[in-house]
């Protein structure tokens, strides 16, 4: 059995296959997921699992150099936005590298999902609580 936090086999496998700049999306339960992108559906009911638990677990495994957020989250879900930013600051300390934060419109975000390797769907119900994590390298 794996020793780390992440025990979900599909998520673990997807992260292991990521190369430099490859992306993975973590989304709320309402995010439209294109049929052409791998869907890892964790949503059980509204709010379960929550976005932050999934984000924390993925961040414990993935080296991240850039994130993409819909700029609407800062306006409509400010508390969630602040929690995400706090986690990214902690990640920078842990990884000892800067994490670039890119903000685009929600419409652009939905298009950007097409370029990611997978979308992890959570049960989160907070508006615009979606993130694309782009991989860095460990060396």
pLDDT in tens, 52-111: 999 999 999 999 999 999 999 999 999 999 999 999 999 999 999 999 999 999 999 999
Query: Which two three-digit tokens encode residue 46?
Result: 């509204």
Give Dmax over CA atoms of the chain in angstroms: 42
Give the confidence band of 3 by pLDDT, cuts at 50, 70, 90: confident
CATH of domain 22-135: 3.40.1650.10
How much of the chain is helix, strand and coil, in % rounded to 5? 35, 25, 40
Question: For residue range 29-45, what is the model confidence (pLDDT) as tens digits?
Answer: 999 999 999 999 999 99
Burial of 111 (0-12, 13-18, 19+ CB in 10 A): exposed
106 is in an annotated binding site: yes
Q: Does 1 have pLDDT greater than 90?
A: no
**DSSP string spanning 49-87?**
S-HHHHHHHHHTT--EEEEEEETHHHHH-HHHHHHHHHH
Residues forming the active site? 20
pTM score over 0.95: yes
| Positive or negative torsion for Cα 101, 69, 11, 111 | negative
8 is in an annotated binding site: no
CA separation for the pair 130, 139 (Å, rounded): 28
Averaged pLDDT, 117-135: 98
Q: What is the pLDDT of residue 2?
A: 73
Cα of 4 vs its chain's centroid, Å: 18
């Amino acid at each position: 059995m794996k020793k780390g936090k992440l025990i979900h086999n599909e998520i673990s496998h997807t992260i292991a296959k990521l190369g430099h700049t490859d992306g993975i999306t973590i989304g709320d339960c309402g995010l439209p997921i294109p049929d052409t992108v791998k869907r890892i559906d964790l949503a059980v009911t509204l709010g379960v699992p929550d976005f932050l638990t999934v984000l924390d677990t993925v961040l414990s495994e993935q080296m991240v150099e850039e994130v993409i957020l819909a700029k609407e989250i800062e306006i409509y879900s400010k508390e969630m936005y602040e929690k995400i930013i706090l986690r990214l600051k902690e990640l920078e300390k842990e990884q000892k590298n800067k994490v670039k934060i890119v903000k685009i419109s929600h419409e652009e975000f939905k298009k950007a999902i097409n370029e990611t390797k997978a979308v992890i769907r959570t049960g989160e119900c907070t508006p615009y609580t979606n993130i694309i994590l782009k991989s860095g390298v460990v060396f």
